[in-house]
Amino acid sequence: MQRSLTAVLRVLPLPLVYGLDVLSIPFYILFRRKGRHASYRFYRRRMGYGPFKSWRYMWRNHFRMGQAVIDRFAAFAGKSFRLVRENQAPFDALLDRPEGFVMLSAHTGLYELAGYHLQTGAKRLYALVYPHETEDVMQGRRQQFARTGIQMVPVQQDLAHLYTLSGALAEGHIVSLPADRVFGSPKTLTCNFFGAPAPFPKGPFVLATSRQAQAVAVFVMKEGVRTYRLIYKMLPLSEPAALAQAYADALEETVRRYPDQWFNFYDFWHAD
């Protein structure tokens, strides 16, 4: 199916494929109850929307997720996207420094699109990826990342990826990893997020602070059919808990700005 989608996107315009995406949304709404409930509760309890607006944004959230998936395969099919860069100058200054730094992403918009366009100069970028994607997705990523010299670092059961990432920072390179999901690890940091305590993974923030590396929150948000906004938010050098809170604040600010582009379909606030 993924190979077929890539082939279709080589010949069909994106708006037409988005229209087909609309047809799939009722399936997810009806048969993925946990994701539907989590999305609705977010808009109702955290964003403070009324019942009707929460329901409407829950549908929009699913549609945006479909668009992000389609845009990923559209890039694999050779379609180009325009990136409007926000707060670019501080990021460029980091590229000119000899020290390595950390890019912290989230499940918003289409983050990996940044990697298809990012120019890092003399620095190499090591991107942490989860190895459970299909071979078609991994092959598409390899082809796209090859153009910008990005090296994928798969998560390993023996945690060998942590040594690779730490070594990359020590050599003055860039490390990219998600920081808004806890994947079964008990090591978390509790942050105030949308007015309630929420767990964030401890690892990304410990990695940055242990190497005294500058951390940058990076978000790539959809603004048009072929336009995304690449947002850099510099985070303060601090200890892990304070860095995690600064990241949570940056993520919350971005999600409030683009409320239908945070793709969280599980109970983020466990005690909620």
- Domain ranges across the chain: 2-76, 82-257
Of 4-8, 9-13, 54-58, the one with minimum mean pLDDT is 4-8
Rounded distance between C-alpha atoms, residue 28 and residue 13, angstroms? 24
Residue 134 has what pLDDT? Answer: 60
Residue 48 has what pLDDT? Answer: 95
Helix (H, G, I), strand (E, B) or coil at 261: coil
pLDDT for 95 beyond 60: yes
pLDDT for 100 beyond 50: yes
Given pLDDT bands bounded at 50, 70 and 90, which one contains residue 257?
Answer: very high
pLDDT for 140 beyond 70: no
Residue 272 has what pLDDT? Answer: 44
Residue 133's closest CA among 121, 143, 123, 141? Answer: 141
* DSSP secondary structure of 72-140: HHHHHTT---EEEEESHHHHHHHHHSSS-EEEEE-SBTTTHHHHHH---TT--EEEEE-TTS-HHHHHH
Q: Which residues pair with 83 in a beta bridge?
A: 228
Q: Please report, rounded to a whole number, the percentage of residues in the chain having pLDDT higher than 90.
A: 56
pLDDT for 81 beyond 80: yes
pLDDT for 51 beyond 70: yes
Q: What is the DSSP letter of 266?
A: S
